[in-house]
């Protein structure tokens, strides 16, 4: 028979799934290949406001969209171009166009704000929605929706961007990237605002071919699996469902 103290400890570990789990240091995460931390004054300024607990939901949503647009410029900096002959009002010239279509894949709900920012930057991008929620007791992702079939129908997909503001344990990102690969997404990149070293290590281990672009790498995950210092729950704060 399990004693009361032992049973209580088991229940506590179930509700605090990161208790006792070893975590890599921030320095180890920053040394990973394929991880880029964006350094830009506007991003740092807006990210600080996003983290602030006094920022109201409507401002939080606006900041998430604005940060999405700024991260889009950074994440798309290496997209390939092809020559594009055009006629200006004055004469002919050779311009440049993207070599293929771009896909943005936000993870519902929290990724929607970033997706709006990406679409402001590139309105013609395709959008592939992926619904995942985190089981708060196990931290495992639970899928409930996906709209990816169109990735297999026509067009030249040049680059695909998975969007999720918070990269915590990495479970949702790992599963989402695997799903996108299964449906033929090309040129995959993962774009987040804030990442924990644990999540970066986990994604890099499972998907070493996928570049990761983030605005900040924080210190650690707490026992509940939340990024610290972080910003709390990005979905709840964005959609005022606290």
Inter-helix orientation angle 57-75/111-121, to 10°: 50
| Omega before residue 109 within 30° of 0, cis | yes
Give the pLDDT band of residue 138 (cuts 50, 70, 90): low
User: What distance in Å separates the CA atoms of residue 210 and residue 223, rounded to the nearest whole number?
Assistant: 28
| Omega before residue 229 within 30° of 0, cis | yes
User: What distance in Å separates the CA atoms of residue 174 and residue 13, rounded to the nearest whole number?
Assistant: 24
Kind of pairing, strands 81-87 and 92-98? antiparallel
Give the domain extent around 97. 4-239
User: What distance in Å separates the CA atoms of residue 1 and residue 144, rounded to the nearest whole number?
Assistant: 38
User: What distance in Å separates the CA atoms of residue 131 and residue 144, rounded to the nearest whole number?
Assistant: 5
Reply yes or no on whether the pLDDT at 241 is more than 70.
Answer: yes
Structurally, the chain folds into a number of domains equal to 1
Active-site positions read 134, 138, 233, 236
User: What distance in Å separates the CA atoms of residue 239 and residue 111, rounded to the nearest whole number?
Assistant: 11
Task: Look up the CATH number of the domain holding residue 54.
Answer: 3.40.50.2020
pTM metric for this prediction: 0.88
> Is the separation of the CB atoms in 160 and 188 below 8 Å?
yes
- The model's pLDDT over 14-34, given as tens digits with 9 standing for 90+, comes to 578 899 999 999 999 999 999
pLDDT of residue 12: 46
């Amino acid at each position: 028979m399990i004693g009361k103290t032992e049973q209580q400890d088991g229940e506590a570990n179930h509700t605090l799934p990161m208790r006792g789990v070893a975590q890599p240091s921030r320095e180890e995460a920053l040394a990973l290949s394929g991880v880029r931390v964006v350094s830009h004054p506007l991003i740092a300024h807006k990210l600080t406001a996003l983290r602030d607990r006094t920022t109201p939901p409507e401002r939080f949503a606006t900041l998430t969209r604005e940060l999405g647009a700024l991260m889009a410029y950074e994440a798309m900096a290496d997209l390939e171009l092809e020559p594009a002959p055009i006629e200006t009002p004055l004469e002919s010239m050779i311009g440049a166009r993207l070599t293929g279509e771009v896909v943005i894949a936000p993870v519902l709900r929290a990724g929607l704000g970033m997706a709006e920012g990406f679409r402001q930057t590139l309105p013609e991008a395709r959008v592939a929605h992926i619904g995942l929620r985190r089981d708060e007791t196990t931290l495992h992702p639970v899928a409930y929706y996906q709209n990816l079939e169109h990735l297999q129908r026509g067009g030249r997909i040049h680059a695909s961007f998975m969007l999720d503001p918070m990269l915590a344990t990495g479970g949702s990102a790992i599963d989402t990237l695997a799903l996108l690969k299964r449906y033929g997404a090309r040129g995959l990149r993962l774009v987040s605002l804030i990442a924990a070293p644990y999540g970066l290590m986990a994604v890099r281990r499972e998907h070493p071919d996928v570049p990761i672009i983030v605005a900040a790498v924080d210190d650690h995950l707490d026992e509940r699996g939340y990024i610290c210092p972080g910003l709390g729950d990005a979905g709840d704060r964005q959609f005022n469902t606290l």
